Amino acid sequence: MRILLTNDDGVHAEGIQALRRALEKVPGIELYVVAPERERSASSHAITLHKPLYVSRVQMEGARSPMWAVSGTPADCTKIAVSALLDHRPDLVISGINRGPNLGTDVLYSGTVSAAIEAVIAGIPAVAVSLVAYGDADFEPAARFMALLVSTIVRQGNPGFTLLNVNIPALDLDQMAGVAVTRLSRRRYSDSFVQRTDPRGRTYYWLAGELLGDDDDPATDAGAVQQNLISLTPLHLELTDSTLLPGLADWASSLDQRLRPNDTTGRS
pLDDT digits (tens, 9 = 90+) for 46-67: 999 999 999 999 999 999 999 9
Predicted structure pTM score: 0.90
pLDDT at 83 over 80: yes
Coarse DSSP helix, strand, coil percentages of the chain, rounded to the nearest 5 percent: 30, 30, 40
Closest-CA residue to 163 (of 127, 109, 131, 110) = 127
Query: How does DSSP assign 165-203, residue by residue?
Result: EEEEESS-GGGS-EEEE-B----EEEEEEEEEE-TTS-E
| CA gap 258, 246 in Å, rounded | 19
User: Is 3.40.50.2000 the CATH classification of the domain at 2-185+215-240?
Assistant: no
Q: What is the mean pLDDT of the chain?
A: 92
pLDDT digits (tens, 9 = 90+) for 106-143: 999 999 999 999 999 999 999 999 999 988 899 999 99
Q: ω before 97 within 30° of 0 (cis)?
A: yes
For the chain, give every domain's residue range: 2-185+215-240
